[in-house]
Chain A
Amino acid sequence: MIPEIGQFALILALSLALCQGVLPLIGAHRDDAAMMSVARPAAAGQFLFVAVSFGCLIWAFVTDDFSVLYVANHSQLALPTGYKISAVWSAHEGSLLMWLLILAAWTIAVARYSKELPQKFAARVIGVLGLLSVGFLLFALLTSNPFERLHPAAIDGADLNPLLQDPGLAIHPPLLYVGYVGFSVAFAFAIAAMLSGDLDQKWARWTRPWTVIAWLFLTVGIALGSWWAYYELGWGGWWFWDPVENASFMPWLIGTALIHSLAVTERRGLFKSWTLLLAISAFSLSLLGTFLVRSGIIVSVHAFATDPTRGYFILAFLAIVIIGALILYAWRAPALDSAVGFRLLSRETFLLLNNVLLVVAATLVLLGTLAPLIVEMLNGGKISIGPPWFQVAFLVPMLPLIFLLGLGMHTAWRSQDLGPWQRLFRVPAIIAIIVGLIIPLFIYGRVGLLVAVGCIAAVWIVASSLIQPLRSWRRAEGSAGISRSALGMSIAHFGVGFFVLGVTIVSAFGEESDRAMRAGDTIDVAGFQFEMREIRDVQGPNYSAVEGVVEIRRDGEYIGTVRPQKRQYLVQQSWMTEAGIHPTWNKDLFVALGDRIGGGAWSVRIQYKPMIRFIWVGAFIMALGGLVSVSDRRYRQ
């Protein structure tokens, strides 16, 4: 009964989404206030019914209703209740329902906080979001019904994939989706602006906080995913340039460009059509990511099981959204031109460079991701593009971006005098060169060209992002000090510096060793002694495991003990590597068990990962910067 209610609620949500998508848009076109006023209640109703549907699916999981196919495939009696709930979004159907819920939540948030917007504009924004909901609801109902029954019901479920039985993975997809789906708000604002043919600085001020919030969730989501892959996939990498990772990274890159271009549009009324194009692209890339993940056309460790109908549906939806938006763009954008100018040395130029470099980076990632598809379509054989290519190609636009970032932050809008600008950078530049060389030389004992460049760039950004906060702090007695949005920018850029430092150090000085170990063996990696004290059997709630007890010492001094496990989950009979990690702020010591290789020995991977935590901490600082900047007074009228 409950699952049927869930499905029925989804159908009701579809009819309300249709009202929400069609009536306000017609109303805005005809200037009909009654039709426009349908927008908010319809959005609220749509949210309510999607939430009911989502609740029903959770109910089915928590009560172990194995007469529902999706539950039978992804849960099990012995699964802890927390994971029964997170199992809801562990596969295609449920995660699509979550996507719908988040889209509806964004919509009511927009409806709630758009009271100050002109009625017509708000009606159009909510209407466009309604049309997007219609697309996804149809997708769910026609191809991916999570409430499909199983006759006869299963006695027990097939269990949740053990890789997904982890707190990191329970919260990573929701955050990622909040980010992905959030770009639909920027998209809807862009479409609404083009429909009305009116785009002013106020428009950018409305759009900006929504975009930044979506962006910060995406940032945290990607960072969590990377962290999860690091400790849960068991092999200690933090980014693999896997197609599905790229699918989340491309909207991030374009979203980052969009935030910066919105800044120009808000402050100076420039880059209008470019901003619109970025808003369309960010959301289109989110859709493309969905397509890549769910159609199974790309070889990836993350891909959901293949189903061509789903692939065609999303492809068709993607085509409608992109082609529709671009036609509207070609028709309306030329009318939005502005007649203000700026000098070559101005913040506008730097933000333009920022945008070009970010778009180039996203294009390269896109090319590398789609290349295997393109080559195969041209009958060029089945190829794959390895991470080394991405690493090199990505660095080309990113290096100049990082150095320009420090300069652009302190350049005035419109026109900047050269003299004071040059003087400003003397101190941070000197600090960057000295500290950037000291870190690798004195802590890690050697320095190469790439390491030096990376460290100097990182310190350069950190130093120059501190200029403004330090100045306002010193001058602060009595004065208003720094604005929230400037402070947010400084914090976010400070995070970029942290991130760059982490990436540079861990790639240059990380060490890895695969060895055979018996109980009693000691292996030396990067100056640490790893002693295998014991290899023993342990029991978990739904798995049995072999556990290694590894003591770590440095020159005889005890540092810590890690317990890497090899688990066998009982229902699926599948094996999982649970790494043992000894984390400290400036390094991780990582031990993973491989296989039993006979003679009482196990293959073991030992890794030394200096400053790897800076990568995720840096990403979180970036997101924090976004949060601070949206709390600025001018966004809270």
Chain B
Amino acid sequence: MKPRQQRMLAVGLAALGIAIAAALTLQAFKDNMMFFIDISEVVAGNHPAERAFRIGGLVVDGSVQRQDGSLEMSFRVTDLRCELGVRYSGLLPDLFREGKGVVAHGRLADDGIFVADKILAKHDENYMSPEVAASLAANAATETESAGMNVSGCEPV
């Protein structure tokens, strides 16, 4: 092949590859995108229906409950403004603890409890997922600003 044809071939193949990649990416992104929703928003009902999403916050002290010898367990998560109940069955990460940050993947069941299929806690206990940190910081700020006033929705916890 002449250099010009080579280049055309290269450009053509690259363009084709990129087009396929772009199409696939967009299509599959839609199905695999998982939104992180603040707990207050979930409590207010502003969460995606019919699909999985992520929540995060602090595990409420004393809220972890389980039946003896069963993998089923439940706990509550707070974003310092609202609380949400979570049900989970399975193994917990090593850094899951009351009072510490947690992220959960799952769906909201009809009874208003979040049914998690995956629980994440980070490998450094001083490290908090930026999403959770942002969600908590926002509420800590509103709390100070509106001291004494009744914040719409949930009571400050």
Give the B-binding residues of A (Cβ under 8 A). 161, 163, 233-235, 270, 274, 296-297, 299, 301-303, 305-306, 337-344, 349, 352-353, 356-357, 359-360, 363-364, 367-368, 371, 375, 381-386, 388-389, 392-393, 396-397, 514-516, 518, 572, 574-577, 592, 594-595, 597-601, 603, 605
Q: Interface code B15-34, partner A: CB below 8 Å = 1, 0 otherwise?
A: 00110110011001101111
Contacts of A603 in B (CB 8 A): 71, 90-92
Q: Give me 16 A-to-B residue pairs in the complex whose CB atoms sit less than 8 angstroms apart, sorted by A's number.
A: A161-B124, A301-B122, A337-B3, A338-B3, A340-B3, A341-B6, A342-B1, A357-B17, A360-B21, A382-B131, A385-B32, A389-B28, A516-B69, A597-B69, A598-B69, A599-B69
Separation of A353 and B5 alpha carbons in the complex (Å): 15
Chain B residues packing against A (C-beta within 8 Å): 1-3, 5-6, 9-10, 13-14, 17-18, 20-21, 24-25, 28-29, 31-36, 54, 66-71, 73, 89-92, 94-95, 122-127, 129-131
A306-B127, A338-B3 known, 4 other contacts, Cβ within 8 Å: A302-B123, A359-B17, A386-B34, A600-B69
Nearest residue (CB) in A for B12 is: A356
Chain A residues with CB under 8 Å of B25's CB are: 364, 367-368, 393
A396 to B21, CA, bound (A): 8
* Interchain nearest-CB distance for B104 vs A (Å): 12
Which 5 pairs show the lowest CB-CB distances between chains A and B? A598-B68, A594-B91, A599-B68, A389-B32, A382-B36
In the complex, which residues of chain A have a beta carbon less than 8 angstroms from the beta carbon of B6? 270, 341-342
A128-B95 Cα distance, complex, nearest whole Å: 44
Whether the Cβ atoms of B130 and A306 lie closer than 8 Å is: yes
Q: For the complex, what is the distance from the CA of A540 to the CA of B68, rounded to whole Å?
A: 29
Contact of B71 among A341, A375, A516 (CB under 8 A): A516
B33 touches A597 (CB 8 A): no
Asked if B24 contacts A234 (CB within 8 A), the reply is: no
Q: Which residue of B lies closest to A368 (CB)?
A: B25
Q: Are B66 and A597 in contact (CB under 8 A)?
A: yes
Q: How far is the CB of B77 from chain A (nearest CB, A)?
A: 16
Contact across chains for A339 and B18 when beta carbons are under 8 A apart: no
On whether the beta carbons of A385 and B29 are closer than 8 Å, the reply is yes
**Residues of chain A lying within 8 A (CB to CB) of residue B54:** 384
Interchain nearest-CB distance for A56 vs B (Å): 26
The listed residue with most A CB atoms (<10 A of its CB), out of B24, B32, B126, is: B32
Q: Do A234 and B69 contact each other (CB < 8 Å), given the known contacts A383-B33, A397-B17? A: no
Do B3 and A339 touch across chains, with their CB atoms under 8 A apart?
yes
* A572 pairs with B3, CB closer than 8 A: no
- Are B34's CB and A518's CB within 8 A? no
Q: Cβ of B21: which chain A residues have Cβ within 8 Å of it?
A: 360, 363-364, 367, 393, 396-397
Q: Which of A235, A305, A598, A603 has the most CB of B within 10 A?
A: A603
Which of B5, B71, B123 makes the CB contact (< 8 A) with A161?
Answer: B123
Report the minimal beta-carbon distance from B144 to chain A, rounded to whole angstroms: 23
B71 touches A514 (CB 8 A): yes
Q: Is the CB of B68 within 8 A of A595?
A: no
Q: Is the CB of A595 within 8 A of B92?
A: yes
| A343-B92 contact in complex given A383-B34, A396-B20, C-beta closer than 8 Å | no
Contact A360 B70 (CB under 8 A): no
Return chain B residues, CB-CB under 8 Å to A598.
66-69
Does the CB pair A303–B131 fall under 8 Å?
no
Nearest-neighbour CB distance to chain B for A418, whole angstroms, equals: 16
CB distance from A368 to the nearest CB of B (A): 8
Q: Is the Cβ of A393 less than 8 Å from the Cβ of B130?
A: no
Chain A nearest Cβ from B15, distance in angstroms:
10
Cα-based distance from A341 to B10 in the complex (angstroms): 13
Q: Knowing A341-B2, A363-B21 touch, does A384 contact B36 (C-beta < 8 A)?
A: yes
Tell me the smallest distance from the CB of B72 to a CB of chain A, in Å: 9
When chains A and B are docked, how far (Å) is the Cα of A600 from the Cα of B68? 8
Least CB distance from A57 to B in Å reads 21
Residue in contact with A574 in the complex, picked from B3, B89, B94, CB distance below 8 Å: B94
Please, which residues of chain A bring their CB within 8 A of the CB of B92? 594-595, 603
Which of B33, B68, B71 makes the CB contact (< 8 A) with A385?
A: B33
Chain B residues in 8 Å Cβ range of A344: 1
The residues of B that contact A343 with a CB separation of less than 8 Å are 1
Report the nearest B residue to A344, measured CB to CB: B1
Asked if B35 and A341 make an inter-chain contact with CB atoms under 8 angstroms apart, the answer reads no
Kindly state the separation between the CA atoms of A601 and B70 in the bound complex, as whole angstroms: 8
List of A residues within 8 angstroms of B1 by Cβ: 341-344
Instruction: Say whether B35 contacts A381, CB under 8 Å.
Output: yes
Of chain B, the residue at the smallest CB distance from A342 is: B1
Across the interface, name the chain A residue whose C-beta is closest to B92. A595
Residue B94 contacts which of A299, A368, A576 (CB distance < 8 angstroms)?
A576
Bound-state Cα–Cα, A382 to B32, Å: 13
Given contacts A360-B18, A601-B68, contact A392 B28 (CB under 8 A): yes
Q: How far is the CA of A338 from the CA of B54 in the complex (A)?
A: 53
Chain B's closest residue to A396 (CB) is B24
Say whether B95 contacts A574, CB under 8 Å: yes
Contact of A299 among B3, B32, B35, B131 (CB under 8 A): B131
Q: Which residues of A contact B35 (CB under 8 A)?
A: 381-383
A344-B1, A384-B34, A575-B94 are known contacts. Are A597 and B70 too (CB-CB below 8 A)?
Answer: yes
Q: Closest A-chain residue to B131, C-beta based? A: A382
